[in-house]
A and B are shown apart, each in its own frame.
Chain A
Amino acid sequence: MSKPHQPPEQVRYATVLHWGTLTGFVTLVVTFVLYMTGLAAADVPLHQLPQLWKLSAADYAAATGLHDGWSWLFALNKGDFLSLLGIAILSACPILSIAAVVPVYLREKNYVYATLGLMAVLVLLYAASGVSVHHHT
């Protein structure tokens, strides 16, 4: 018995996820090497980290002058912020994968799943936007 073919939306989700994850991992490792070797200078010197990583996230931000939300994206010349790029790409993979299958559902006139997909994308975009964090801090 041969392995059955998977639905087109499933194949598309898998393809987008594969390339997104690969890009994320490569970025994660390369940027971390740049950070560790000093090729990308750190905003917070590495030798100071043992005193700082004991603090809560809020206290760490206060001690280092770190702003919440997407502020790190504007400091990519610093190794510690550059290293977050791979993490952001990995976290964006589900958003991209779900967004990629919505048109497939629409083409199939599967409006229930197209709506579910859109809702999931909106929920993830809301979390990614950092809007809720600004209210929280």
Chain B
Amino acid sequence: MPIKHFCYALLLLLALGGSMAVQAADVLPPADAVAWWVWPLGLFVVCFFLGIVAVPAGVGGGVLFVPIVGGFFPFHLDFVRGAGLLVAMASALAAGPSLLKNGMAHLRLVMPFALSASLSSTGGAMVGLALPANVIQIMLGGIILAITALMILARKSDYPQVPRPDALSQRLGIHGVFWDMISGREIPWQVHRTPTGIVLFLVIGFLGGVFGVGAGWANVPALNLLMGVPLKLAAASSSLILSIASASATWYYLNSGAILAIIAVPAVVGMMMGARIGAHLLTVLNPAVIRKVVISMLLFAGMRTLLKGLGI
């Protein structure tokens, strides 16, 4: 199918574009010799393609944005992380209303964990902006490689078995009936290990604030594998949690002057336009192939970030 081949070619170009960008960054004259508009325009184009692959690969925009833009663009990591948080938050905010109205996300499931994550994400933002850029870069490289490993190794469970809900989840009324639109079935659900989940979301929120990568990569496994939330409900509720926790850190970055409109706006608009196309291409592209391309991109970007932090 021609469109399929076209999309694969696009993905290949994107992956190759990364390596070309590395070489370009090494040979380019100082930034003041390049017209100022080249970088925001380039950022818009890159984010557009990242948005296309992010949806079928099942990853949030932030986790791709920060290492790739941080590794290959001349912006300071403070501004990249600020824009990364905004990219993650904006995508989650845009998806939120329909996820809630369709019952894909559950507000009672969202609220306690969003509170936990937003409490710590401001702290994460404080620590992230206080640490030297090279330290953040080394840690970011490490965490991106860890996320890549998680993507490769983590199993998923569509409908996990929760034999007995814990006392806290019963007290909070975290249970319900999830209506699966694809199968047209009603699926009752309940959760366990809620206290552990709350502590884990404190850690996830903190990391999201430090690195500006959003936290869908960690939210979904925590809800699905640890607490036993059905996968689709976990993915949708994760998005709502992310929107609240990222807002907390975004405010800190905004108030610290770490968000520049010239970087953040092209990134958000490009990513959202790309994501709309990515959602339409879900039926055409092979998600497994895209996932492999995204994993390769993350591996490459993670290594690049790590080496940049080490000054290599």
User: Is A41 interfacial (CB-CB < 8 Å)?
Assistant: no
| Residues in chain B near residue A25, CB distance under 8 A | 90, 94
Chain A 20-48 interface 0/1 with B at a Cβ cutoff of 8 Å (1 = within)? 11001100110110010000000000110
Q: Do A90 and B97 form a contact, CB below 8 Å, given A13-B107, A66-B257?
A: no
| Residues in chain B near residue A32, CB distance under 8 A | 261, 265, 269
The count of chain B contact residues (Cβ–Cβ below 8 Å) is 70
Asked if A35 and B261 make an inter-chain contact with CB atoms under 8 angstroms apart, the answer reads: yes
- The A interface is mostly helix, strand or loop, or mixed, namely helix
Smallest Cβ-Cβ distance to A46: which chain B residue: B36
User: Is B111 interfacial (CB-CB < 8 Å)?
Assistant: yes
User: Is A99 interfacial (CB-CB < 8 Å)?
Assistant: no
Smallest Cβ-Cβ distance to A24: which chain B residue: B93
Shortest C-beta distance, A137 to chain B (Å), equals 7
User: Is B184 interfacial (CB-CB < 8 Å)?
Assistant: yes
From the candidates B74, B79, B247, name the one contacting A94 in the complex (CB within 8 A): B247
Shortest C-beta distance, A20 to chain B (Å), equals 8
| Residues in chain B near residue A93, CB distance under 8 A | 93, 243, 247
Smallest Cβ-Cβ distance to B258: which chain A residue: A57
Shortest C-beta distance, A35 to chain B (Å), equals 6
Chain A residues at the B interface, C-beta cutoff of 8 Å: 1, 3-4, 6-7, 9-11, 13-15, 17-18, 20-21, 24-25, 28-29, 31-32, 35, 46-47, 49-51, 53-58, 60-61, 66, 68-70, 80, 83-84, 86-88, 90-95, 98, 101, 112-113, 116-117, 119-120, 123-124, 126-128, 130, 132-133, 136-137
A-B contact pairs, 21 of them (CB 8 A): A1-B186, A3-B181, A25-B94, A32-B265, A50-B74, A53-B263, A56-B133, A57-B78, A57-B256, A57-B258, A60-B78, A66-B257, A84-B259, A87-B254, A87-B264, A91-B89, A94-B244, A113-B111, A116-B111, A132-B122, A132-B252
